C-alpha cells in the first residue's frame, strides 16, 4: 500500500524513518538502564528478533553513560528517552545516542531547548517530539476533545524546536485510547509532514493490549499513516516485535513475505486444516518474497475459494489437491501432502 501522506525522511544511525523508507519497528527496554548487563542483553534480544530501533529510558547522567556505552557495542540504533532534564539530552546526543525523545515543553524553557537542539545538530541526531495524553502541558484546552488537544500539543512542541532552527524531527501523539490516538494522528498528519512514530500507549497486557494496539495502529496503517511503529505492551518487549511485524503485514504496509491464508473449516472438512496451516506458516515464516499460500479444508470448494492465492492445497480424507492460481496441478496422498506441497512452494520461490 502506498502512503497517502508523504513525510520527510530522518536518519537514525543507518536506519531511515519516513519518506519512502519501509515502516520501521521499534521497542523500549524495561530494564534499569544503569544495569549494563541486563540492558545490553535485552537490546541484543530485541535486535535478534528484528527490532529496528531500541529506546532506553535515562534518568540521570550515570544512565546516559551506560546507554552511550551500549550504543557503541550494538549495531541497532539506540534512542535516549528523556523526561525533564535537558542536560541528559545534551549528554546523550554528544555521547553517541542515535536519537533522543523529549517533550520540548518539559525541558525548562527556550534556552535549554536551544542547547539540546544545538547538541543534536552538531551530532546529526534527530529528535522525537513525544506527546502523550497523560502528560499534556498545562494550558492546553481539551474542550474540543483529547485528540484535538494532542494534535495541537504535538504541533506546538514541534514549533518550539523549529524556532530553534531544528527540523530533524519525528513526532508522536499517543493516548491509551485507540480512538483518541487515531483521531490525533489523523489531525496531525494534515498539518505537518514530519515522520510519524505511531503507537497506542499503555495499551495493556496480553491479548487485550494486542487487540487494542491492532485496532488503533491498524486504522492508522490502513490510512497510510505511520513511518515507525511501537506496540506498547506490559511484559517482555521482545514480544512486541512479532506483533508489530504481523500488523505491518496484515495492513499491507509490508508485502515482502509469505502470507498463509486458511479456511475457517466447516462440516465438509475431514482433516486438520489448522495443524497444516500452522506447519506451512512455520516453514515459510522467514521467506522474504510476496507469495500467497492457501490451505483449504475440502476439495469441493477449497480450490475455488482459494483461487486468489498463488499456490494452495485443499485436503480431503485420503487425497489432497495442490493448485496454482485456481488450477489443480497435482493430486497427492494425504499422508504425503505436506512434503509434496513444499516442493511446489520451493519451486514457486525459485521462479
Ligand atoms: Fe468448508 Fe471447504 Fe470452505 Fe473450508 S473450503 S470452509 S471446508 S467449504
Q: What is the pLDDT along the chain (351 residues), one digit of tens a residue?
A: 555 678 999 999 999 999 999 999 999 999 999 999 999 999 999 999 999 999 999 999 999 999 999 999 999 999 999 998 999 999 999 999 999 999 888 888 889 999 999 999 999 999 999 999 888 888 888 888 999 999 999 999 999 999 999 999 999 999 999 999 999 999 999 999 999 999 999 888 889 999 999 999 999 999 999 999 999 999 899 999 999 999 999 999 999 999 999 999 999 998 899 999 999 888 888 888 899 999 999 998 888 998 999 999 999 889 999 999 989 999 999 989 989 998 998 888 775
Q: Does residue 219 lie within any of the structural domains? A: yes
**CA neighbours closer than 13 Å in the CB half-sphere of residue 175:** 21
- How much distance in Å is there from the Cα of 299 to the middle of ligand 1? 8
| Global pTM value | 0.92
The verdict on the CB of residue 301 being under 6 Å from ligand 1 is: yes
For residue 24, being part of any structural domain is answered with yes
263 Cβ below 6 A of ligand 1: yes
Here the contacts of 72-78 (C-beta below 8 Å, separation 24 or greater) are: 72/96, 73/40, 74/40, 74/43, 74/44, 74/47, 75/47, 76/43, 76/46, 76/47, 76/51, 76/52, 77/12, 77/13, 77/14, 77/15, 77/52, 77/53, 78/43, 78/53, 78/54
106 C-beta closer than 6 A to ligand 1: no
Q: Whose CA is nearest to atom 6 of ligand 1?
A: 265
Tell me the CATH number at 297: 3.30.413.10
Ligand 1 centroid – CA 320 distance (Å) = 13
Task: Report if residue 270 sits inside a domain.
Answer: yes
List the grid coordinates of 144. Answer: 474540543
Question: Of the residues 216, 250, 284, which one is the last residue of a structural domain?
Answer: 250
Same domain, 65 and 204: yes
Give the whole-angstrom CA distance, residue 338 versus residue 308: 20
User: DSSP letters of 1-29?
Assistant: ---SS---EEEETTEEEETTSPPEEEEE-
**Could you tell me whether strands 319-324 and 311-315 are parallel, antiparallel, or unpaired per DSSP bridges?**
antiparallel
Q: Which domain holds residue 122?
A: 9-250
Does the CB atom of residue 266 touch ligand 1 within 6 A? yes
CATH number of residue 98's parent domain:
3.20.20.20
Same domain (yes/no): 173, 265: no
Both 246 and 263 in one domain: the answer is no
Number of domains the chain is built from: 2
Q: State how far the Cα of 319 lies from the Cα of 332, in Å rounded to an integer.
A: 6
- Mention every residue, 6+ apart, whose C-beta is less than 8 A from residue 168: 10, 120, 121, 124, 125, 126, 127
List all residues 6 or more positions away from 263 whose beta carbon is below 8 Å from its beta carbon.
269, 273, 294, 295, 296, 297, 302, 305, 306
All three cell numbers of 207: 491479548
Q: b or e along 101-127 (b: 16 or more beta carbons within 10 Å of the residue's beta carbon)?
A: bbbbbebeeeebbbbbbebbbebebbb
Structural domain contains residue 157: yes
- The phi-psi region of residue 340 (left if phi > 0; otherwise alpha if psi is between -120 and 50; otherwise beta) is alpha
Rg (CA), the chain: 23
Cα 2 to ligand 1 centroid, rounded to whole Å: 33
- Same domain? 230 vs 271: no
Residue 3 lies in a domain: no
Q: Using CB atoms within 10 A of its CB, is residue 239 exposed (0-12), middle (13-18) or buried (19+)?
A: middle
Same domain for 164 and 224, yes or no, is yes
Please state the φ and ψ torsions of residue 131, each to the nearest 5 degrees: -110, 135
The last residue of one of the domains, among 193, 226, 250, is: 250
Residue 238 lies in a domain: yes
Same domain, residue pair 112 and 204: yes
Cβ–ligand 1 contact at 264 (below 6 Å): yes
> Do 244 and 265 belong together in one domain?
no
Ligand 1 atom closest to 264 (CA): 6
- Whether 297 lines ligand 1, by a CB cut-off of 6 Å, is yes
Distance from Cα 269 to the centre of ligand 1, integer Å: 6
In the three-class reduction of DSSP (H, G, I as helix; E, B as strand; rest coil), residue 260 is classed as strand
The residue out of 222, 250, 278 marking a domain boundary is: 250
Q: Using one digit for the tens of pLDDT, what is the confidence trace for 245-275?
A: 999 999 999 999 999 999 999 999 988 999 9
Amino acid at each position: 500500500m502506498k502512503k497517502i501522506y508523504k513525510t520527510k525522511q530522518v536518519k537514525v544511525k543507518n536506519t531511515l524513518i519516513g519518506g519512502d523508507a519501509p515502516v520501521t519497528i521499534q521497542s523500549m527496554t524495561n530494564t534499569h538502564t544503569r544495569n549494563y548487563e541486563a540492558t545490553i542483553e535485552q537490546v541484543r534480544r530485541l535486535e535478534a528478533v528484528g527490532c529496528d530501533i531500541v529506546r532506553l529510558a535515562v534518568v540521570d547522567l550515570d544512565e546516559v553513560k551506560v546507554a552511550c556505552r551500549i550504543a557503541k557495542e550494538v549495531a541497532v540504533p539506540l534512542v535516549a528517552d528523556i523526561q525533564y532534564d535537558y542536560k541528559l539530552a545534551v549528554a546523550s546526543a554528544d555521547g553517541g545516542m542515535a536519537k533522543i525523545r523529549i517533550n520540548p515543553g518539559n525541558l525548562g524553557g527556550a534556552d535549554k531547548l536551544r542547547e539540546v537542539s544545538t547538541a543534536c545538530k552538531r551530532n546529526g541526531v534527530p529528535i522525537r517530539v513525544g506527546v502523550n495524553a497523560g502528560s499534556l502541558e498545562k494550558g492546553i484546552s481539551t474542550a474540543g476533545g483529547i485528540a484535538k488537544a494532542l494534535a495541537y500539543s504535538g504541533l506546538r512542541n514541534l514549533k518550539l524546536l523549529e524556532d530553534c532552527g531544528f527540523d530533524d524531527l519525528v513526532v508522536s501523539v499517543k493516548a491509551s485510547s485507540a480512538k483518541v490516538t487515531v483521531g490525533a494522528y489523523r489531525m496531525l498528519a494534515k498539518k505537518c509532514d514530519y515522520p510519524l512514530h505511531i503507537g497506542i500507549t499503555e495499551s495493556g497486557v496480553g491479548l487485550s493490549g494486542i487487540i487494542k494496539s491492532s485496532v488503533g495502529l491498524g486504522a492508522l496503517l490502513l490510512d497510510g499513516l505511520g513511518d515507525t511503529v511501537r506496540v506498547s505492551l506490559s511484559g517482555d518487549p521482545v514480544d512486541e516485535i512479532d506483533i508489530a511485524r504481523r500488523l505491518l503485514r496484515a495492513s499491507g504496509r509490508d508485502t515482502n513475505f509469505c502470507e498463509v491464508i486458511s479456511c475457517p473449516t466447516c462440516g465438509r472438512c475431514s482433516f486438520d486444516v489448522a495443524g497444516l496451516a500452522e506447519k506451512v506458516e512455520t516453514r515459510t515464516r522467514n521467506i522474504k518474497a510476496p507469495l500467497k499460500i492457501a490451505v483449504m479444508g475440502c476439495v469441493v470448494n477449497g480450490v475455488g475459494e482459494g483461487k486468489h492465492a498463488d499456490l494452495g492445497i485443499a485436503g480431503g480424507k485420503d487425497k489432497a489437491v495442490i493448485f496454482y492460481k485456481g488450477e489443480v496441478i497435482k493430486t497427492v496422498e494425504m499422508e504425503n501432502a505436506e512434503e509434496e506441497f513444499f516442493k511446489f512452494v520451493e519451486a514457486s520461490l525459485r521462479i
